[in-house]
Amino acid sequence: MNNARHVFEPLTIGPLTLRNRIIKSATNEGMAPQGIPSRQLVKLHAALAEGGVGMTTLAYCSVSPDGRTLPGQIVLDASTVPHLRALTDAVHRHGAAASAQITHGGCFTFLRERSTPRPLSSSGGFNKVGLMSGMWRKQAMTEADMTQVIGQFVQGAELARAAGFDAVELHMGHGYLLSQFISPLYNRRRDSYGGSLENRLRFPLRVLRAVLEAVGNDLAVICKYSITDGVRGGNTAQDGAAIARLLEAAGAHLLVLSAGMNVESITTMFGSSFPKENRVKAGNPLIGMAMALQRLKEPEVVFRELYLLEHARKVRAAVKLPLAYLGGVSSLEGIERAMAEGFDAVAMGRGLICQPDFVNRLSQGLARHSGCTACNRCVAMMYTPGGTSCVLGPAGDPVLNAQPAAG
């Protein structure tokens, strides 16, 4: 497309300049046994960097032990910094940037051991996620809780900087804690943190401003959020545009435009249904049950490229800050179309899991389409000994996945 900015041009976001416009989006890797980043995790992100991405994103780095959704997730603390430094050094050797997705799960957690009697959330009461783990109740965050969690996000961002990351991505979507404030599906508060969209954004914006103040001169500060919750009673794409305006006003350097919720609307997130039969089974029975329930409750959805474009356009029309389109990019034509629509970058998940060298293949004229079939089986591979991989290729190495990155 003649009016598309070229995918291989540099992109500046805050203090960071990327070598091109393709970002590996955060996709849970299953490569941190006991919460320690593994050599397999380093190998994965090094391969993505060597394969040509402008930036690769390490998924779900929790800002506290309570913020994890599952065992085996990274907690940003002093003990993980040397292992994370091994990852960022490997990424930098291949000329790419590294981003750490920092977040807190709130009531979206399957871990019973925590410092509070019940999982924290925007509002208290019945916890539908807890039906699978016995934590049927959640507790509304107090001002003291918010202050503590803001401090944890700041500390997490500072540790990410110490570990050599070039960016941090605040996860404000998919039903995690910050999303639980933003979405009316979860936020039923009657104080200054509930009701209007501006009130529901008040706590997430406090987190964003604090992180920007702490590391924004050194790191790109990115926000990933759900443009639409994808379910009745949740935020719509019009709300998503209004959210973007508030994040822009607060100073975010880049928005990654996702959609959907982990519990209520996972097909909105992935743009296609999960297979009724899978080549792998989740080792955690709770996760297996959750996946089975998702297959039962949601209608069959057939994948189409750029499945979130109609929603993302509303955000592009509303703000001027850099935006990364996410949602079903699987070809050079799709990338160019997204850029012709005014998006500054594209974020890819499944396509790069399938082919970590896809960007190089595009730049060398060796490919125009990803080999990804959007079967979604890579999601369940996270629970295998080798971690996330494409079922069409070799599985992850369970030996490397058992070895600490800095060991």
CB atoms within 10 A of CB 110: 20
111 alpha-carbon distance from chain centroid: 20
Cα 49 to Cα 21, 99, 391, distances in angstroms? 13, 12, 21
DSSP 3-state assignment of 139? strand
- As annotated, the active-site residues are 176
Contact by Cβ (8 Å): 120, 106 = yes
360-363 contact pairs (CB < 8 A, 24+): 360/51, 360/52, 362/7, 362/52, 362/332, 362/335, 363/8, 363/52
Residue 258 identity (one-letter amino acid): S
Q: Which residues contact 197 (CB under 8 A, 6 or more apart)?
A: 235, 239, 242, 243, 246
Q: Phi then psi for 83, rounded to 5 degrees?
A: -70, -40
Cα 344 to Cα 54, 57, 288, 311, 388, distances in angstroms? 12, 17, 37, 16, 28
